[in-house]
């Protein structure tokens, strides 16, 4: 029995697939199968039930799983401690993030982390919140950075507060006003960002409570394109305060307060599977992020 075999067993158990485990471990599917079979031979039992592409743990596999997890956890933590003693932490970490956080929160944080741990290679995947959740649930990454998530298998840790702001072109008639009403917004051409997302749901609910609908003239799934459409004076939109920070500071865009409507807030969180402890470099980076949380 060796660590490669245990690592492959854990990866197949978490992904439910030999091929997905191979992609995660940068191995071929036959190599992963060979490792798991060797482990089964050493243990004298079958760990997985295989039926075509469906792979599930046997009762013996379920019984062995927590002990295999502890072995890898202790090994990763032990390796990290020794590396820290030598000021030589190295390795690779894969995680995922929603695009707004990746573009506007992470660059500074990743730069600081890289300067502190230059031998750690970070692999960052980006997507919408549901895609980040799927990667965490499928054990493709140990954790992700998402918007508020309510899922029975997910635990959440607060990272950064965020507010959705009304954004207009500086030459837009509303930009001359310090405060606008919901009725004035509802009459304007509106650019919808990411229909069905929690961001959109919160905006829609805010106007529903006012008995108002929005005059949607365009729908896009990319906040960069939303900003470009506002600059082209196609319409107005609600966007994250982080997404428009630079453009507002340079005068390319303007944000406006809304009278008689609560602020639309939705925070960034670190999400991970419940009952799955992060270890080694993943734990180190997660704690680094949390040390920079704003609350």
pLDDT digits (tens, 9 = 90+) for 244-274: 999 999 999 999 999 988 888 888 999 998 8
φ and ψ of 294, to 5 deg: -85, 0
Report whether CATH 3.20.20.70 matches the domain 1-86. no
C-alpha–C-alpha distance, residues 268 and 101, integer Å: 8
Contact between residue 203 and residue 185 where contact means Cβ atoms under 8 Å apart: no
Q: Are 128 and 221 in contact, with CB atoms under 8 Å apart?
A: yes
Give the model confidence (pLDDT) of 67-90 as tens digits: 888 888 888 778 777 776 666 788
Cα(10)–Cα(8) distance, rounded to whole angstroms?
Answer: 5
Cα separations in angstroms, 29 against 26, 33, 179: 9, 6, 60
Per residue in 13-67, pLDDT (tens digit) is 888 888 888 887 888 989 999 999 999 999 999 999 987 778 899 999 999 988 8
CB 162 within 8 A of CB 266: yes
CATH class of 89-161+267-295: alpha beta
pLDDT of 166 over the 80 cut: yes
In this predicted structure, what is the pLDDT of residue 85? Answer: 63
Give the pair of three-digit tokens for residue 22.
Answer: 């191979």
**First vs last Cα of the chain: how many Å apart?**
45
Per-residue pLDDT band at 243 (split at 50, 70, 90): very high
Reply yes or no on whether the pLDDT at 202 is more than 90. Answer: no
**Mean of the per-residue pLDDT values for the chain?**
89
Identify any residues that bridge with 125 across adjacent strands, giving them in sequence order.
96
Beta carbons within 8 Å of 18's beta carbon, 6+ residues apart: 12, 29, 32, 33, 36, 55
Q: Are 198 and 164 in contact (CB under 8 A)?
A: no
Edge to edge, the sheet with strand 119-127 lists: 119-127, 90-98, 144-147, 268-273, 154-160
Dihedral over Cα of 170, 173, 178, 180: its sign: negative
Same fold, 1-86 and 89-161+267-295: no
Where are the chain's structural domains? 1-86, 89-161+267-295, 163-265
Closest CA to 139 of 273, 5, 6, 33: 273
How far apart are alpha carbons 277 and 283 in whole angstroms? 8
Residue 135 · residue 125 · CB < 8 Å: yes
Strands (DSSP E) contained in the chain are 48-51, 54-57, 90-98, 119-127, 144-147, 154-160, 163-168, 179-180, 189-193, 215-220, 237-240, 254-258, 264-265, 268-273
Q: Domain 163-265 is in which class? A: alpha beta
pLDDT at 122 exceeding the cut of 90? yes
Alpha carbons 32 and 42: distance in angstroms, whole number: 16
Q: Of all residues in the chain, what percent carry a pLDDT higher than 90?
A: 58
Token readout for 211 is: 């008995």
Report yes or no: 124 and 260 within 8 Å, Cβ to Cβ.
no
b/e 45-59 (16+ beta carbons within 10 angstroms → b): eebbeeeeeebebee
pLDDT over threshold 70, residue 295: no
* 68 touches 10 (CB < 8 A): yes
pLDDT of residue 266: 85
């Amino acid at each position: 029995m060796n660590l490669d075999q245990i690592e492959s067993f854990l990866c197949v158990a978490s992904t439910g697939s030999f091929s997905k485990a191979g992609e995660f471990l940068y191995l071929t599917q036959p190599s992963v199968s060979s490792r798991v079979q060797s482990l089964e031979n050493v243990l004298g039992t079958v760990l997985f039930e295989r039926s075509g592409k469906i792979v599930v743990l046997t009762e013996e596999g379920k019984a062995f799983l927590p002990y295999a997890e502890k072995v890898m956890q202790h090994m990763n933590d032990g390796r990290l401690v020794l590396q820290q003693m030598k000021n030589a932490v190295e390795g690779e970490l894969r995680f995922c993030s929603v695009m707004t956080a990746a573009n506007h929160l992470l660059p500074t944080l990743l730069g600081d982390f890289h300067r502190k741990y230059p031998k750690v290679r970070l692999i960052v995947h980006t997507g919408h919140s549901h895609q980040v959740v799927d990667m965490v649930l499928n054990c493709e990454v140990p954790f992700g950075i998402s918007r508020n998530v309510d899922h029975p298998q997910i635990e959440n840790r607060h990272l950064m507060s965020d507010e959705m702001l009304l954004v207009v072109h500086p030459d837009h008639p509303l930009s001359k006003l310090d405060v606008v009403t919901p009725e004035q917004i509802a009459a304007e051409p509106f650019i919808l960002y990411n229909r069905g997302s929690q961001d959109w749901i919160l905006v829609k609910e805010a106007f529903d409570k006012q008995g108002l609908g929005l005059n949607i003239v365009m729908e896009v799934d990319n906040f960069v394109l939303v900003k470009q459409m506002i600059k082209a004076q196609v319409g107005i939109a609600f966007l994250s305060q982080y997404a428009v920070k630079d453009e507002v500071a340079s005068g390319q865009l303007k944000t406006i307060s809304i009278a008689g409507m609560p602020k639309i807030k939705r925070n960034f969180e670190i999400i991970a599977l419940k009952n799955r402890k992060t270890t080694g470099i993943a734990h180190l980076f997660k704690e680094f992020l949390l040390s920079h949380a704003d609350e």
